[in-house]
Chains A and B, each alone.
Chain A
Amino acid sequence: MGLAALSANLLLVSFIAYLVATLFFGGAVKGAKSEASYKNNRWGKIAITITIIGFITHVGYFVTRWMASGHAPVSNMFEFTTAFGMMLVGAFILLFYLYRTPSLGLFALPIAIIIIGYASMFPREITPLIPALKSYWLTVHVITAALGESILAISAVAGLIYLLKNIDLTKKSKQRFWLEAVIFTLILVVGFVLSSSAFKLTGYEAHFTYTDKNEQLAKIEYNYPPLFGMHEYESLTPDVMTPWAEMPPIVNAKTLTTFVWSIASGILLYLILRLIFRRPIAALLQPFAKKANSQLMDEIGYRAVMIGFPVFTLGALIFAMIWAHEAWSRFWGWDPKEVWALITWLFYAAFLHLRLSRGWEGEKSAWLAVIGFIIIMFNLIAVNLIIAGLHSYA
């Protein structure tokens, strides 16, 4: 077995390990009476052991892929997102040993699973580095930035648990609506993964030519039935559906098609879940959060930001500036990705000031942590795929 194939298998093992570990964390939480009594629960011990096994195979994936390609596997969307998932689990393991709370695992692992699933929807083959990426700063900058982001993401997990536990879901309220909206977004991602995998399994392909925004003829391949056509498109594949509408040149109709399919399948999935359980999904998850100690979740959320913020600053701003100066001749160029890294940083700076000086603890702090994660995800997904810039590698 070649290194590349070994690497892919290791990733699969860790994915399965995380799924199994989630179930055991569920058992740990279910079996416990309260925070005080479940710290050293046997289910919890099994769960964290399986998580660590999964993490080790995940690191194995990372190392073997690095050996196969000759560069740190953080050079495209699949590699970066997978590495982000790995570090999220790593950050969780760190905080688990600081606070010993299985509730955190019960929510952190599913989020890592969704992230890895999302990552594998991107092309997975090993790509050689373009000249701009050929630098050891690729390794240093991207890994540090991803590490910082993953630790910050743990604060959102703790925040989510806090909100699920403390928001009254029996009464209609703004909080209930927004909490459900957050859960709905997670389900949308699952919907995207499911529908994308389904079309991939059937081997669906549709080829088109179109005129791009510089008025050049270009080719494109769809993996979903084309709901929207590119500007002045011509079909190259016989017997595919005719797009509903043709888009102006600035709109990437393929991305739009993928987006609409994901939203549609996500909504469908959500409706099916609602029909089966006849309750908001947040209410379904609430019992799993009830055992967590609010004060502890608040503290974990804050601590994660405290640990993650300096790492993020170093990786996503300072190392980024040093590399940008080497590669692009300027340390700062207001490229969308740079701007969004700055926005993330400013947001967490505001978070810390609100907490330290204005006493925003508990629920307010939890909401902020969740919004911070949304900004990080926006920078990862939307900025790469929609707002094109120098950082769009996918």
Chain B
Amino acid sequence: MSKIKCQCGHDNPFGTVLCERCGRPQTEEAKESKLVDMRYEGSARRSQTYKRSIIDKIWNFFSSVKIGISIIVAVLTTAAIGTIFPQKLYVPVSGEAELAAYYERLYGIPGTIYYKLGFHDMYNSWWFITLIGMLGTSIIIASVDRVIPLYKSLKKQRTKRHPSFMKRQRIYGEGPSENPDDALIEAEGQLKELRYKVKTEDGALLAEKNRFSRWGPYVNHAGLIIFLFGILLRGIPGFYVDETMWIREGETRSIPGAEGYYLESKAFIIENYTKEEADEVFGDALERVGMIAKNYQTDVTLYKKEEGSLPGSNQTNFVKDYSIIVNKPLKFDGYNVFQMDFRLDELKSMTFKLTEKATDASFGEFTVDLTNPEREYELDNGARVILSDYYPDYDGIENGEPTSKSPIPNNPAFIFKMVTPAKPDGEMSFVAIKQTLETEVNDYKVNFVSAETRDISGLTVRKDKTLYLLLVGGIIFMIGVSQGSYWNHRRIWIQKGPDGGLLVAGHTNKNWFSLKKELDKVKDAANLPSYEDRQDKESNLDDKEVDKI
């Protein structure tokens, strides 16, 4: 494409609106407008220049801020719809049929529609992920489209601008001056005091400060891209582990997702606030609400399998003791283990006594471990009890056979074979909680003595290698957004006019109020002509009123 040659002699890239050096308007539109559009310095942006090939069209689509905003609004709306009813994740059922039934039962027809449309799993839906992808693309393309030409034109800008550029600024003033050269020197001194960088050239002055704030948006967009990239990485195996484990007091289990590590639970502790310790401060609240939980804690020991040990061997080394509490996960080797859930008082073992019905004489006691029961129990006087069948979660008798709902000992039941010197062939007895069944009348029986319970901790195991990348993205975003928000790029141009007077113009990307305050100081110090803010009609009127008084 051909270059555009400005009257000042500078060759501008095709598509330029304002000459990079002198600021003369280059397009008919810019020449006719009263105020010049200073966004991106009127530089040539790819998206505004090339519109032919399919790549141009895609580029132009994503570089448009209008499209970007539409994507933001679409994400925002979809995200909001996702909060109308609880998401799948927070619903206590799983499986498609159960989910459908759950939404229908609790939320009626709207619930069914919500489920059918897939809104119950909104944030994993393909359209939501597509929208986020489009947002990322838009951020990259829109930034690249703008930052390069902006950088170039700010770098090439000349101190002396053409009057047609000055006249089209929002802040503009012109007027006669008794001694324009002195005024320029005075203004330069005052501007330097206000920490402007001042350049002069041939009766013209350009004062500029905080140009770096113009890069803020691009820095924060870079931060966002790094963040989104980090999220993308979590799909790669090994970058991200998310497992749950249930561990009983006294148990040692291998940690899912963390090869070679073992965790032993020593105790689960739950504490509530008590009236005594919480004294007068929390008394009212405890009175009103009842019980308030104070602490959930699992005391654990971490072991690591010995390096180089054979697969299948159980040689482990002690690593550390730790108390996992909410907000204080166990950390090791990039893994975090969190206290997430618990179940209290699961049956651990039951103790029984073998007695002769007629005399009540005892052969002694035996204890059945409910998760890992032994087959045989030797008792006194040559008696023994054989556990011929075990139903951890007894659920009644079906087709003449007792059944168990689950392997968890919620409601244990046993079939014991009692072998005594008097009955060497043994007698059979079915023992469940609060009931004993016998196939024929026995002489001996097994009595329940006591039960021991223990708690189970629900732990979550996480490893997330992307976290640091996400954090870096977040930090870069914060740097960029602060740089763009808390500093303003300000420029003030002062130059001698064609008829011996002075022209003053000012521009800032935001916070015009402060720019005007600074310009007022310079105006007073250097006796510059007064200026006008062409967007603030009201205060111009105010000033005139004050002048009249």
Question: A residues engaging B (CB < 8 A)?
Answer: 2, 4, 33-37, 68-69, 99, 123, 125-128, 130-132, 134-135, 137, 213, 249-250, 293-296, 299, 302-303, 306-307, 309-310, 313-314, 317-318, 321, 325-331, 333-336, 339-340, 342-343, 346-347, 349-350, 353-354, 356-358, 383, 387, 389
Question: Does B402 count as interface, using CB distance less than 8 angstroms?
Answer: no
For residue B239, CB closer than 8 A to chain A, the reply is no
* Cross-interface CB contact of B65 among A4, A128, A353, A389, cutoff 8 Å: A353
Q: Does chain A have a CB within 8 A of B453? A: no
Q: Flag if B538 contacts A69 (CB, 8 Å).
A: no
Segment at the A interface, from B81-89, B183-191, B196-204: B81-89
**A314 with B327, Cβ < 8 A, contacts A2-B280, A35-B538, A309-B485 known:** no
B448 at the interface (CB under 8 A from A): no
Q: Is the CB of A309 within 8 A of B481?
A: yes
Report the minimal beta-carbon distance from A340 to chain B, rounded to whole angstroms.
7
Contacts of A342 in B (CB 8 A): 79
The answer to whether A358 touches B69 (Cβ under 8 A) is: yes
Give bound CA distance, A218 to B438, whole Å: 42
Partner among A132, A213, A339 whose Cβ is within 8 Å of the Cβ of B79: A339
Q: Which residues on A sit within 8 Å (CB–CB) of B83? A: 336, 339-340, 383, 387
| A350–B470 CA distance with the chains assembled, in angstroms | 23
A residues within 8 A CB of B123? Answer: 334
* CB closest residue in chain B, given A345: B76
Task: Indicate if the CB atoms of B288 and A329 lie closer than 8 Å.
Answer: no
Given contacts A127-B282, A132-B326, A350-B76, list 12 more A-B pairs with CB under 8 A.
A4-B281, A126-B284, A128-B278, A130-B292, A131-B325, A249-B106, A295-B538, A303-B513, A313-B481, A343-B79, A357-B65, A387-B84
| B97 in the interface (beta carbon within 8 A) | no
How many whole Å from A310's CB to the nearest CB in chain B?
5
The contact of A318 among B39, B122, B289, B474, by CB within 8 Å, is: B474
In the docked arrangement, what's the CA distance between A336 and B289, Å? 24
Establish whether residues B285 and A334, one from each chain, have CB atoms under 8 Å apart when the complex forms.
no
Measured between alpha carbons, how far is A357 from B284 in the docked complex, in Å? 54
Given known A-B contacts A128-B292, A299-B511, A357-B39, A36 and B82 have beta carbons under 8 A apart: no
Q: How far is the CA of A313 from the CA of B123 in the complex (A)?
A: 21
Inter-subunit contact B542/A35 (CB<8 Å): yes
Question: Are A127 and B76 neighbours in the complex by a CB distance under 8 Å?
Answer: no
Query: Are A310's CB and B538's CB within 8 A?
Result: no
User: Cβ of A346 and Cβ of B538 under 8 Å apart?
Assistant: no
Identify which of B83, B106, B285, B511 gathers the most chain A CB atoms within 10 Å of its CB: B83
Contact B79 A130 (CB under 8 A): no
Question: Which residues of chain B are within 8 angstroms of A137 by Cβ–Cβ distance?
Answer: 327
With A35-B538, A310-B481 known to touch, is A334 a contact of B327 (CB < 8 Å)?
no
Expressed in whole angstroms, the minimum distance between the Cβ of B24 and any Cβ of chain A is 23
- Expressed in whole angstroms, the minimum distance between the Cβ of A77 and any Cβ of chain B is 13
Q: Taking CB as reference atom, which chain A residue is nearest B39?
A: A357
For A336, the closest partner residue in chain B by CB is: B83
Does the CB pair A296–B513 fall under 8 Å? yes
Contact A36/B543 with A127-B282, A327-B326 known, Cβ cut-off 8 Å: yes
Whether the Cβ atoms of A329 and B336 lie closer than 8 Å is: yes
A127-B282, A295-B533, A347-B76 known; A132+B65 contact, CB < 8 A? no
Contact present for B546 and A37 (CB under 8 Å): yes
Contact of B510 among A2, A306, A346 (CB under 8 A): A306
Assuming the A-B contacts A69-B281, A299-B511, A383-B83, are A134 and B326 also in contact, with contact meaning beta carbons closer than 8 angstroms in the complex? yes
A237 CB, nearest partner CB in chain B, Å: 17
Q: Which of B13-21, B293-301, B314-322 contacts A (4 or more CB under 8 A)?
A: B293-301
Which of A135, A293, A354, A358 is in CB contact (< 8 Å) with B327? A135
In the complex, A353 Cα to B39 Cα: how many Å?
12
B457 in contact (CB, < 8 A): no
**What chain B residues lie within 8 Å of A128 (beta carbons)?**
273, 278, 282, 285-286, 292, 294
| B512: chain A residues within 8 A (beta carbon) | 299
Query: Taking beta carbons and an 8 Å cutoff, which residues of B are in contact with A?
Result: 39, 65-66, 68-69, 72-73, 75-76, 79-80, 82-84, 87, 89-90, 106-107, 122-123, 242, 273, 278, 280-282, 284-286, 288-289, 292-296, 325-329, 336, 338, 340, 460, 462, 467, 470, 474, 477-478, 481-482, 485-486, 510-513, 533, 535-539, 542-543, 545-546
The answer to whether residues A250 and B107 also contact, given A134-B327, A329-B329, A339-B82 and a CB cut-off of 8 A, is yes
Interface SS of chain A: helix, strand, loop or mixed? helix
Q: Measured between C-beta atoms, what is the minimum distance from B445 to chain A in Å?
A: 39
With A250-B107, A299-B511, A350-B76 as known contacts, state yes or no: A313 contacts B477, CB within 8 Å.
yes
The answer on a CB contact under 8 Å between B536 and A293 is yes
CB distance from A394 to the nearest CB of B (A): 11
Q: CA–CA, A350 to B135, complex, Å?
A: 12
A293, A303, A331, A334: the one contacting B467 at CB < 8 Å is A331
- Asked whether, in the complex, the Cβ of A334 is within 8 Å of the Cβ of B89, the reply is yes
Q: What is the CA–CA distance of A342 and B327 in the complex, to the nearest angstrom?
A: 23
- How far is it, in angstroms, between the C-alpha of A325 and the C-alpha of B338 when the chains are bound? 10
Please tell me if the beta carbons of A126 and B285 are within 8 angstroms of each other in the complex: yes
Residues on A with beta carbons closer than 8 Å to the beta carbon of B106? 213, 249-250
Neighbouring B residues of A2 by C-beta, 8 Å: 280
Q: Are A314 and B90 in contact (CB under 8 A)?
A: no
Measured between alpha carbons, how far is A62 from B511 in the docked complex, in Å?
Answer: 33
Q: Quick one: closest A residue to B477, CB to CB? A: A313
What's the minimum C-beta distance from A312 to chain B, rounded to whole angstroms?
10
Q: How far is the CA of A309 from the CA of B535 in the complex (A)?
A: 25
**What is the bound-complex CA distance between A123 and B285, given in angstroms?**
9
| CB-based nearest B residue for A387 | B83
In the bound complex, do residue B280 and residue A354 qualify as a contact, i.e. CB atoms below 8 Å apart? no
Q: Are A325 and B282 in contact (CB under 8 A)?
A: no
Selected contact of A331 from candidates B69, B90, B470, CB within 8 Å: B470
Contacts of B273 in A (CB 8 A): 128
7 smallest CB-CB distances across A and B, nearest first, come from A125-B284, A357-B65, A295-B536, A131-B326, A36-B542, A329-B338, A127-B285
- Inter-chain CA distance A80–B539, complex, in Å, is 40
With A and B bound together, what is the CA distance between A327 and B336 in angstroms?
11
Q: How far is the CA of A295 from the CA of B533 in the complex (A)?
A: 10
19 contacts between A and B (CB under 8 A): A36-B539, A36-B543, A123-B285, A126-B281, A126-B285, A128-B292, A131-B293, A131-B294, A132-B327, A135-B327, A294-B538, A295-B533, A295-B536, A329-B340, A335-B90, A342-B79, A350-B69, A353-B68, A358-B69
> In whole angstroms, how far apart are the Cα atoms of A326 and B477 in the complex?
22
Contact, CB under 8 Å: A327 / B327: yes
**Are A126 and B282 in contact, with the CB atoms below 8 A?**
yes
Question: With the chains together, A147 CA to B292 CA distance in Å?
Answer: 29
Residue with the greatest number of chain A CB neighbours at <10 A, chosen from B84, B242, B294, B326: B326
Q: Which residues of B contact A353 (CB under 8 A)?
A: 65, 68-69, 72
A318 / chain B contacts, CB cutoff of 8 Å: 474, 478
Chain B residues in 8 Å Cβ range of A333 = 89
Which residue of the partner chain A has the closest CB to B473? A318
Contact check: which of B73, B90, B485, B511 meets A350 at CB < 8 Å? B73
Min C-beta distance of B5 to chain A, whole Å: 29
**A69, A295, A321, most chain B CB atoms within 10 A:** A295
Say how far A253's CB is from chain B's closest CB, in angstroms. Answer: 15
Q: Which of B460, B477, B485 has the most chain A CB within a 10 Å cutoff?
A: B485
Asked if A68 contacts B69 (CB within 8 A), the reply is no
Q: Is the CB of B87 within 8 A of A334?
A: yes
Given B68, B84, B482, B542, which contacts A310 in the complex, CB threshold below 8 Å?
A: B482
Q: Give the complex CA separation of A317 and B122 in angstroms.
A: 20
Q: Chain A residues near B39: list those with CB within 8 A.
A: 356-357
> What residues on A are CB-neighbors of B328 within 8 Å?
326
